Amino acid sequence: MSQKSRFKNHMAEAHNTATFETVPWGAEVSYVDHFLWGAGGLATIPNVSSEENGLAWTKLIVGNGPPTIGVTADGANGVMELALESTSQAQDAMIYHSDQRGINVKAKAQVEMRVKFSVLPTTGVAAVFGLAGDHNLDKDAVTEHAWFRAQASAAILAETDDTTNDEDDVATGVTVTNAQWKIYRIDFSTLTDVRFYIDGVAVALATTFDMSNLTDAEAVMQPYFSLDKATGGG
């Protein structure tokens, strides 16, 4: 792909020099969601079995508490909140694209997420956020993924799996507080060396995250945000 910038109607834009398609700066395809939907209407994410036309996201809730998912009222710059609750039972709260995978990591994808933990994970609680293949409630059974993880603590981990190379629970050296928004980025520019960044700083550099074993089909993934806890977890 070759890109060229130009001014059109007094506005700067970029275009593909072969097809003349107007493209986002630096990318042929982009997907952005700031969750600026308001606190009503589409703020109610449909259940995975009740997808709605025009809305990519679905939610999956497990537990009778129940956990809650929705756009935060007056959330500055757009906030989607996933929350578990204190009932002593196994619970899950997650949003994803209902296994409709559309992001091709072989196309040198860049994934960026702004995330805050309002309540820090404690014993039995896990959070993952990034890209994944088809959903599984057992996160270790999701055979294609690249995501950040927090497992029973505020220490952030990095993980990848390409069905052969499985890097689990790799420390990033970053521990968050419940007041911090952080920018998390995963860079798939080189599949033999996928990189993780937090607030622009490369992390977990001692580990090589090799995802080069992905087939073309396996390399197409979906956004994936999940909270879960075991029975008795807090």
Tell me the C-alpha distance between 194 and 188, whole Å.
Answer: 5
Tell me the C-alpha distance between 150 and 111, whole Å.
Answer: 18
Residue 21: CB partners within 8 Å, gap ≥ 6? Answer: 15, 28
Q: What would the pLDDT profile of 173-230 be if each residue is shown by its tens digit?
A: 999 999 999 999 999 999 999 999 999 999 999 999 999 999 999 999 999 999 999 8
Residue-level pLDDT at 55: 76
Residue-level pLDDT at 74: 81
CATH of domain 90-229: 2.60.120.200
Residue 153: pLDDT above 70? yes
Amino acid at 47: N
Residue 103: pLDDT above 90? yes
Residue 41: pLDDT above 50? no
Residue-level pLDDT at 32: 79
Residue-level pLDDT at 77: 82
DSSP one-letter string for 64-78:
SS--EEEEPTT-TT-
Residue-level pLDDT at 154: 97
What is the average per-residue pLDDT within 140-148?
97
- Rounded percentage of the chain residues whose pLDDT exceeds 90: 66
Domain spans in the chain, listed from the N-terminal domain onward: 90-229
